[in-house]
Structure 1
Amino acid sequence: MPRERAIPKGYMTVGELAEKLGTTVRTLQYYDQLGLLSPSAQSEGGRRLYSDRDMIKLHQILSLKSLGFSLEEIKEELIPLESPEEVAGVLERQEKLLRCQIDRLEATLREVVALRQEVMAMQTVDFEKYAAIITNLQIKNQDYWLIKYMDDDTLESFKYHMDVDEAKGITAEYNNLMDRATTLSQDGADPAGEAGQVFAAAFWDMTQRFTRGDPQMLGKLIEMGGMMESGQVAGPADFDPAVFAGASAFIGMALDHYLGRLGINPFEEGELK
């Protein structure tokens, strides 16, 4: 029985290619059926052979698949690898996609770590609060850790007050306003001055939209703010009660002056409009 000739240099069998890139023969056969990756040659004995170039193409396919692309999308994304520029372009695109995936994974890791810390701090199983914490981590609410201190009524209002898009907008606005308050406070700005009153108007507008005219909710938020200032509640490692207290003091004085000029009592029904 004649022996099959050796495989030419630069070629490999389907099994060898599968082993090199950590996939299966069945997967490669399926890609061949789809026209996604077909063997470049065939041995005299009929064995299907893949080239080094095919291996680079397979690496491209597997990389895109790991990033969540469907096989149909990958088929459309594949480009010829005829020049160094084309090969470099493929690798550059994969690099960008991988960096995006790394960013998403790092964000997810931060959420998992933060949730674990909150679970341990609560010392009780409360899936309603767990869900609220996850939601607020995802919308980048820096004060997600306060949820564990909320009573049932406040949590109910906090959860069902607004849809996700609105919550994202309010959260981003609140974070920005707190940064502004910190800067104004540290710069020694006058709460009753022009900059302080422009800030107060923006902060009051945000507060109105968040509380939906509920003085009781406003009171609870102020109470929680007081707990944060005094250090009665344990925040994350990067939370500085002294900095928060300075910003809160500025906000309080600016709002007192602003609401006083408008004749508004925020704790009376109908005033939060």
Structure 2
Amino acid sequence: MSEPEKLYRVGQLAELTGLTVRTLHHYDDIGLLSPSRRSGAGYRLYNGVDVERLYEILALRQLGLSLEQIACAITGETSLEAMLVAHADHVDTQLAAMQRLQTHMATVLATVRRADRPTDTDLLDLIRRVMTVDARVENYFDADQLAALAVRREELGEEQIRAVENRWPSLIAEVDAAITVGMDPTSEEAAALAAEWMGLLEQFHGGDPGLRDGMYRMQEENTEEIQRDFGGPTPEQIDFIARANDSRN
């Protein structure tokens, strides 16, 4: 007699994988990962096939693919074995980068312990290496894009960067107030908010499609943490701005 099929509710799958329930709901909403079953009460139930598909999604995401690209990849002919090999190669690359960083940090630390002062070049190189292997950022930007971000930051200057950072909380509050009073997203007032919002985002990506898409993915997949640590934006605020921006284009 075969064992009964193991099924996971969305909360259980989130807890086991470290993902958020919101992320799994989003994957379902866009058709990337829909549960194979539903309970009598309508709860999402995921089986082993769904778990395998989720692994494929996460492996491809770590390789830097967008959710749209992942959707195309997992409906093709690529086997799970091929994805595992590619994922293993990616992990090996990350480990090698971490080992190089460890060696470099040991050299800088030895200099400090000799009571010598590390040169600016040492410290700048160390910063670059730390940024390059940062696990979270690597999920969304490749090495060339990280370099482009560094150049972008240099071009903007610290004063402009601080001005943008200081504007975000008040702009988010204004958008939240607009939603609360029921402002029409197609109104001129909403269009003005959307124009400023998109302008602030462009300060980051500079019109580069790759940087823009990486930024959107980072926001989309870390919504709860961004809200908790930085006060927003919420999905409702992003939806309002998206509709307002569509209406002005």
- Name the TM-score, length of structure 1 as normaliser: 0.39
If asked which structure has higher relative contact order (CA below 8 Å, sep 6+), I would say 2
- Name the TM-score, length of structure 2 as normaliser: 0.43
Give 1 or 2: higher helix fraction. Answer: 2
Instruction: State which structure, 1 or 2, has the greater radius of gyration over its C-alpha atoms.
Output: 1
